[in-house]
Amino acid sequence: MAQETRFDLVIIGSGPGGYVAAVRAAQLGMKTAVVEKSSRLGGVCLNVGCIPSKALLDASEYYHLAKERFAEYGIKTGKVGLDLATMLARKDKVVEDLTENVRKLMEGNHIEVIHGLATLTAPGTVDVDTGKKKKLTLSAGNILLATGSEPLEVKGLTFDGEYIVSSTEALSFDSVPGRLGIVGGGYIGLELGSVWNRLGSMVTVIEMLPKIAANLDGQVGRTLDRILKRQGMQFKLDTRVVEATVSGKAVKAVLATGDKTETMTFDRLLVSVGRRPLTRGLGLEALAVETDERTGQIVVDQEYRTSVKGIYAIGDLVPGPMLAHKASAEGTAAVECMAGRAGEVNYDTIPAVVYTWPEVASVGLTEEQVREREIPYCVGSFPFSGAGRARCMGETDGFVKLISHGKTDRILGVHIIGPRAADMIAECVLALEFGASSEDISRTIHGHPTFSEALQEAAMHVRQCSIYAS
């Protein structure tokens, strides 16, 4: 007979959604268990996603600065060399430290951590294959699914883990590819393309749409395109990869643009066209948990309840942007709903960040969305070239763009491309949460000299429009 253990809540998955939900549940007095299939906690984000990619982005940026820009600051370094093995080892150490922090967080909150493959066998029952002869059976008042997502495979571009790869393998190349092809011009492709471009790869991004980072505000997207091209990245837009084959130690890719085709050869081909919910093996079909036939996402209500009583789902498994901070917010909200509290997520104020350099960050509506909805609006912008702090650092690319309602002046969206945009966006998220106006931002004193002054100046520019709005 399998061992049975009773919990108030069993969470499947220990990523940013799962572990945050577990801590909140423990704080609310729930006896909680987390089941994780991998040997380390933290999910995709900590192990093969957000954290290692940012570690490499920062490291590659330092390398680029030392090699290309230190001299203009009066810093003499001599010939700068790359020790890729050390760079990758540092990335791995960052990941190790943070996953260990999550383990200690679970331990400190008295959360049971079980490593193994979890399967739903009945409402309130989870079987866990821990690799031992007997499966472990857990029973719980509620079950929260937080298993995240996995890279999408494309027909004709099957991953082989060495030459045709997903983002996971692209974090650990043993050498800098001379020619790196990237299928997909979204956030992940642009970030990893930036890493290897700085380290010496000739990067070509192949995007089937007419623009990269299609979800960005159009003006911001066009600016990012120009800057990345100036940095050496190449883009083939309105183009799809028909097929790719490995020949020797290279990948030959057949590209189609309209009715024309061409063949390009790469040392590595990164396929980064999106992600899909990771639900395989969970047992959703046996319990008739409703999913969207088109996307594979689990259907949930406003309290993250699935179609089966006592089973909840969050993060990449459910509709909405596949972002770690969105999963964390949903994890907290779902657990609070279980506890009878008013847990909720404001999906209108979820920030998005692209960690290229310069960074891109946004929250709220784009100018295109405002026009589509026929909302009267005003736009204010300010270039970082006019900000003293940006001038001091030599980081003058980009601008802040603020969109407000033409009649009420309420802020509708903020879009930033420039230095430290990822950190600046927090003020904008707070402004949207509180229903602030551009005047509120413009009258708020910002430190000088700082990057955030550009936001204040953009807000002042909006006011020039709002005075005359009808």
Mark the binding-site residues for NAD(+), compressed into ranges: 184-191, 207, 274
Residues of the binding site: 54, 147-149, 184-191, 207, 274, 316, 322-325
Distance between CA atoms of residues 186 and 171, nearest Å:
16
Distance between CA atoms of residues 455 and 310, nearest Å:
45
* Kind of pairing between the strands at 164-165 and 149-151: unpaired
461 is catalytic: no
| Region class of 211: left (phi > 0), else alpha (psi between -120 and 50), else beta | beta
User: Shortest CA distance to 408 belongs to which of 436, 428, 383?
Assistant: 436
Q: Are 184 and 271 in contact (CB under 8 A)?
A: yes
Distance between CA atoms of residues 440 and 436, nearest Å:
6
* DSSP string for 132-175: SSSPEEEEEEEEEE---EEEPPBTTB---SSSEE-TTGGG--SS
Q: How many residues in total does the chain contain?
A: 470
Q: Are 120 and 107 in contact (CB under 8 A)?
A: no
Cα–Cα distances in angstroms (integers) from residue 427 to residues 12, 43, 221, 368, in the given order: 33, 28, 22, 23
Specify burial of residue 12 (Cβ count, 10 A radius: 0-12, 13-18, 19+): buried
For residue 429, which amino acid is it?
V
Distance between CA atoms of residues 163 and 248, nearest Å:
10
User: Shortest CA distance to 356 belongs to which of 216, 210, 161?
Assistant: 216
Q: Which of 110, 405, 446, 448 is catalytic?
A: 448
Catalytic residue positions, numbered: 448
